[in-house]
């Protein structure tokens, strides 16, 4: 991997392309809408069209790993090629894998998604800290060594998440706040933007205090899922310049036309341009 940290690379990409992450989510309904078969061949064409539409136009691309895994080894091969082509073209990739485990298993996940020479190697990966933030140490260590990044699930917008994330720990902090604070500790001393980001849903009524994070805030839920620019402002507070809104269906429903996908990207980037003002 490059000697420049993920946080620094993302900061530069946001400045160049604007604040946006676009998902590559080959949901069966989207494959049908694009006139593609629900096969590995259809998956491959979907990925090719997304690559053509997004390379050089967005700061971050986020393949949703589960939609590729559903096709078995053929789907994983398509995912490998999609990640490789995007990265070779200079576009940052975060693998939306949401991995979370302990010990040697977490080390294996780290090698899969951030290891040098891995066919799935990405610039960053999403991870779940709900076996304890310390369970992420193998990913944190490899990310630091290989100049990669991670996005820690902190405050997700699914209703079930509140059962864990909004509960109070022994020190009186909500668990979601603990996860943000742990991420912030790993970003201390970063020059422009730390490489340990968090995921905060744009449809939440409230969010943890993000003021000390000094890392990127991946914010899904905007657009199709109901989150608005006002929601982003409310949740991010003084950290607007660190927010990376994440859209999928909002852009992908414009396909399969590459030009239409590119126009949808341009509209989304413009809608969130205020984040850099």
What pLDDT score was predicted for residue 225? 73
Among candidate residues 87, 98, 241, 267, the one labeled active-site is 98
What pLDDT score was predicted for residue 170? 85
DSSP state of 227: B
Strands in the chain per DSSP E: 21-24, 60-63, 92-99, 124-127, 149-155, 196-200, 217-220, 243-247
62 is catalytic: no
Is the bond into 256 cis (omega within 30 degrees of 0)?
yes
Write the pLDDT tens digit of every residue in 45-101: 999 999 999 999 999 999 999 999 999 999 999 999 999 999 999 999 999 999 999
β partners of residue 23: 62
Question: What pTM was computed for the model?
Answer: 0.96
What pLDDT score was predicted for residue 228? 81
- What φ, ψ does residue 217 adopt, rounded to 5°? -115, 105
What pLDDT score was predicted for residue 2? 59
What pLDDT score was predicted for residue 206? 85
Residues of the chain with pLDDT under 70: 1-2, 224
């Amino acid at each position: 991997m490059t000697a420049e940290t993920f946080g620094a690379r993302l900061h530069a990409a946001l400045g160049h392309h604007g604040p946006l992450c676009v998902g590559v989510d080959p949901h069966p309904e989207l494959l049908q809408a694009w006139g593609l078969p629900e096969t590995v061949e259809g998956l491959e064409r979907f990925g090719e069209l997304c690559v053509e539409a997004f390379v050089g136009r967005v700061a971050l691309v986020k393949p949703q790993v589960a939609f590729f895994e559903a096709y078995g080894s053929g789907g994983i091969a398509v995912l490998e090629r999609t990640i490789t082509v995007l990265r070779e073209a200079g576009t940052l990739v975060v693998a939306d894998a949401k991995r979370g485990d302990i010990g040697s298993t977490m080390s294996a996940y780290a090698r899969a998604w951030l290891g040098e020479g891995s066919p799935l190697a990405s610039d960053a990966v999403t991870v779940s800290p709900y076996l304890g933030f310390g369970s992420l140490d193998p990913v944190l260590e490899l990310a630091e060594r290989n100049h990669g990044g991670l996005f820690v699930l902190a405050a997700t917008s699914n209703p079930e998440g509140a059962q864990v994330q909004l509960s109070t720990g022994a020190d009186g902090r909500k668990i979601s706040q603990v996860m943000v604070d742990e991420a912030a500790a790993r970003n201390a001393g970063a020059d422009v933007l730390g490489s340990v980001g968090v995921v905060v849903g744009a449809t939440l009524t409230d969010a943890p205090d993000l003021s000390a994070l000094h890392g990127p805030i991946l914010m899904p839920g905007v657009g199709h899922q109901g989150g608005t620019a006002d929601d982003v402002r409310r949740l991010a507070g003084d950290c607007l310049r660190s927010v990376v809104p994440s859209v999928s269906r909002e852009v992908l429903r414009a396909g399969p036309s590459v030009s239409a996908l590119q126009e949808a990207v341009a509209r989304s980037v413009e809608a969130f341009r205020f984040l850099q003002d």
